[in-house]
């Protein structure tokens, strides 16, 4: 019994040490940990443009181009970010830094990711909400951040991932994946104001109300995707009363068929089905600048 107890204690200590080591290593090797730690540490920062979204925005929006036109910019987007995650990031930034002139929110392609209940990305939760909350085994770093293990293995095996860089919050990868999909003949339903007033978009409106309160221009964009889920939808103005604040947003559709045909090349601009590579990010950010300049 004594040996079993000693073995159990040794195993427990080894498990705890492995978790501490994993937590020590992640901010030094993982893209999202690095940039989230950097962004969380911003204090009295004066950025003119701040960008939010999930991995499609992290790969696809180039803050260097935004900086050239509008002044200093930073891309806060993180993989798997919900709108609640983006709201937490925005709220925290405004509490500790100067007010930006523009907040740009980039939604995933084809409206697919926001009808589910919101939750906060575990990395954002760790830095912004409660670093040391351990409510059970699933809160231990090896489990809480388990997907990062796979992503960092990709870096070891893939030259394109090893050579990728994070510049002002954007993940810049030059790998090219060809879009071989075929545009569908059946029309994709274009959503209206009622859709964007649904529960899944609650935190988009919280962001809008916060920007309205602070006198910040907020613009929303739908990111492009491969041909088979592009649409013919027009840009859309939407509105909602948030508490006592009347909010209006303009949703610019970068996933429109005509726009994608004009801007993007099937062989050169894609990293995956709904992620732009570095080439594509330059083209789509140039279009964002053009839209904002009119």
What is the three-state SS of 171-226?
EECCCCCCCCCCCCCCCCCCCCHHHHCCHHHHHHHHHHHHHHHHCCEEEEEECCCC
pLDDT score for 224: 95
pLDDT score for 121: 83
Q: Which of 44-53, 76-85, 182-191 has the lowest mean pLDDT?
A: 182-191
Assign 185 a pLDDT band (cuts: 50, 70, 90): low
pLDDT score for 15: 62
pLDDT > 90 fraction of the chain, expressed in percent and rounded: 55
C-alpha distances out from residue 3 to 8, 9, 268, Å: 8, 10, 61
Contacts of 67 (CB under 8 A, 6+ apart): 48, 49, 73, 168
197-252 pLDDT per residue, tens: 888 899 999 999 999 999 999 999 999 999 988 988 899 999 999 988 899 999 99
pLDDT > 70 fraction of the chain, expressed in percent and rounded: 77
List the domain boundaries for the chain. Answer: 2-292
CA trace torsion 287, 291, 292, 293 (10° rounding)? 100
pLDDT score for 217: 97
CA trace torsion 26, 285, 160, 269 (10° rounding)? 140
Q: What is the mean pLDDT of residues 186-191?
A: 73
- Of residues 238, 280, 293, the one with CA closest to residue 61: 280
pLDDT score for 142: 63
Q: How far apart are CA 89 and CA 77, in angstroms?
A: 9
134-173 pLDDT per residue, tens: 656 666 666 666 666 676 677 766 667 677 788 999 999 9
Q: Give the predicted TM-score (pTM) of the model.
A: 0.88
Evaluate if residue 267 carries a pLDDT over 80.
yes
Assign 261 a pLDDT band (cuts: 50, 70, 90): very high
Evaluate if residue 117 carries a pLDDT over 70.
no
For 252, other C-beta atoms within 10 Å of its C-beta total: 20
Q: What is the mean pLDDT of residues 116-139?
A: 72
Q: What is the mean pLDDT of residues 110-126?
A: 71
Assign 120 a pLDDT band (cuts: 50, 70, 90): confident
Q: Which of 115-124, 166-175, 188-197 has the lowest mean pLDDT?
A: 115-124
């Amino acid at each position: 019994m004594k040996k079993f107890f000693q073995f159990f204690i040794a195993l427990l200590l080894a498990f705890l040490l492995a978790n501490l080591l994993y937590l020590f290593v992640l901010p030094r090797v993982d893209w999202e940990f690095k940039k989230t730690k950097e962004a969380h540490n911003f204090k009295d920062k004066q950025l003119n443009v701040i960008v939010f979204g999930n991995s499609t925005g992290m790969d696809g929006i180039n803050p260097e181009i935004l900086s050239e036109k509008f002044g200093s910019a930073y891309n806060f987007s993180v993989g798997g970010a919900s709108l609640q995650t983006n709201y937490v990031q925005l709220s925290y930034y405004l509490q500790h830094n100067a007010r930006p002139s523009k907040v740009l929110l980039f939604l995933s392609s084809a409206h697919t990711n926001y009808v589910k209940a919101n939750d906060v990305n575990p990395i954002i939760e760790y830095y912004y909400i409660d670093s040391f909350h351990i409510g059970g085994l699933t809160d231990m770093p090896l489990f809480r951040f388990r997907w990062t293990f796979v992503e960092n293995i990709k870096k070891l095996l893939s030259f394109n991932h090893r050579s990728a860089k994070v510049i002002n919050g954007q993940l810049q990868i030059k790998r090219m994946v060809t879009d071989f999909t075929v545009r569908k003949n059946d029309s994709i339903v274009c959503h209206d104001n009622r859709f964007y007033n649904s529960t899944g978009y609650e935190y988009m409106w919280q962001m809008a109300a916060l920007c309205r309160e602070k006198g910040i221009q907020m613009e929303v964009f739908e990111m492009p995707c491969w041909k088979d889920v592009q649409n013919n939808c027009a840009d859309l103005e939407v509105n909602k009363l948030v508490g006592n604040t009347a909010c209006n947003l303009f949703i610019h559709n970068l996933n429109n068929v005509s726009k994608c045909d004009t801007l993007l090349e099937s062989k050169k601009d894609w990293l995956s089905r709904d992620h732009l590579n570095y080439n594509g990010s330059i083209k789509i950010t140039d279009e964002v600048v053009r839209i904002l300049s009119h």
